[in-house]
Structure 1
Amino acid sequence: MSKKKHLVVLSGAGISAESGIKTFRDSGGLWEGHDVMEVASPEGWRRNRTLVQDFYNQRRKQLLECEPNLAHLTLAKLEEEYDVSIITQNVDDLHERAGSTKVIHLHGELRKAQSTLDPTLVYDLDHWEIKEGDKCERGSQLRPFIVWFGEQVPMMDLAIELVSTADILVVIGTSLQVYPAAGLVDFVPASSKLFLIDPTSPGVRLNKKVVYILENATSGIITFGKMLKSEI
C-alpha cells in the first residue's frame, strides 16, 4: 500500500461564513458592532472585561446554532484518500464536528477557556457562558481561549512544520491578509501543489505557482476535488 499524500489545508473565515458565522473583515473592521480592538486585544480586556466576556459568550451561543457546511464535510471525507492536516484561523469547532481528526487552531478555540494567570491552563467548555467568578485551579479568572491581536501565536511552529511537509496545500476562505498565518505559504516545498480557493484571490500575488479557484468555499471545494482526481 502506497503512503498517503500529505494534504494540508489552511482555512479562514470564508469557510465558516457559509455556516452563518459572521466575520469582522467584511464589515469595516467591526465585529458584531464592536471595534475589533475592543474585544480582541489585551488592552480591550483590561479596559472592559465584562464587555469582552459577553462578546465571546454570545459568539459561543451563536456557534451552537451553526452546523458544518459542505466544505467542512468534504475536507473531512478527504481523509479517506489523503493524510489531511487542517490549520485553521477560525476559532469555531466546525472542522471537528464535520469529522476532521487533525485540526490545529492558530487563533484559539471558542469552546475553551484559559486561565488569566497561567495561559497553559486550558479547559473545555460544556456550556456557552464564562461568568465573572469562574476561576482556574490556581484561583484566577477564566478568559476566552483566543489569541488576541498583539499576543503570540503558540501553534505557529507546528503549522510551519506541517506546511513544510505538504505534498498539496489548499488555502480556502482566507484572503491571506492576516499575519503571521498568511506567511505560512512561504514554507510550502517548491515541488508541492498549491491551490487557493477564494473569490477575491486575484488580488493575492504569491511568489509561487498557484492554481486559483475563484469561488466560495462550498462550490470551490467541489472544483478542487475534481482537480485532485484529474491532475494529481
Structure 2
Amino acid sequence: MVAESFVDAPEVYLDGVWSGGRLRWSSLSRNHIAPLSAVAGGVLAAHVLDPARRPALFAQARALAAEALAALGAPDCVFHLEMFTTDGGPTFGECAIRLPGALSPRVNQLTYGVDLFDAEISLALGEEPSLPADATAPERFHGYVLLRRAPGGRLTQRDFERAFTFDEIVYDSAPDAPEGPYGKVGHAIVSDADEGVLEKTVEDVARFNASGGF
C-alpha cells in the first residue's frame, strides 16, 4: 500500500551528482507548469535558478537531497530529485536515479559547464567525474521551452525569431511534423544574467507558443 498526500505548493527540482556517499554537485531549476499539465496540452518550460537569490532554499534542497539519497542507499549516480517549496522548507516529492529529462542536461551544461551525460558515463566506468564546485557563480542562467504546434498552425520559426532573441531555436511548423514528448515539434533556449529576466522571457515564449502569437 502506498499513501500519499497532496502538497499545494510550487515545485522545483535538483539535478546533481552523487558519489562516495555524498553530494558532489547540484543545480536547482523550476518547471513553469507541471509535466502532467504539459501532457494535457500545456507548453513545458523550465529555467535554472540563481543560488545568490535563494541561498536558504539551495542549502535546504541540498540537505534534503543528501538525506534522501543516503536513505535510499543510492549508488554513485546522476540523479533528478523533485521537491515542493512549502513555507516550512522543501518537502520531498520523488527521486529518480537517472539523468534528468527534456533539455535539463543541456541548460545545466550551458549555465555551469557540467556535462551530466559525461558524468554518468564516468561514474559507470568507475572514474572520477569532472565537476566544478557548487559555489561556481554562472555568468548567465539558461532556460528552455519545448515548443508545440501552435493553435491553427499559425506560427513559424521566423515568427518566434521576430518576437524574441534566442540562444537556440528549432521549430518545425509543417502540418505533418512528427511530435516528440509533450507534443514537441521544436525547442527554444534562452538566457540572461538576471534570473528574474530569464524567468519572464521563458514564460513569454511559452505563452506566445500556446496562444499562437501575442
- Name whichever structure is richer in strand by fraction: 2
Instruction: Verify same fold: TM over 0.5.
Output: no
Give the TM-score of the pair, scaled to structure 2.
0.28
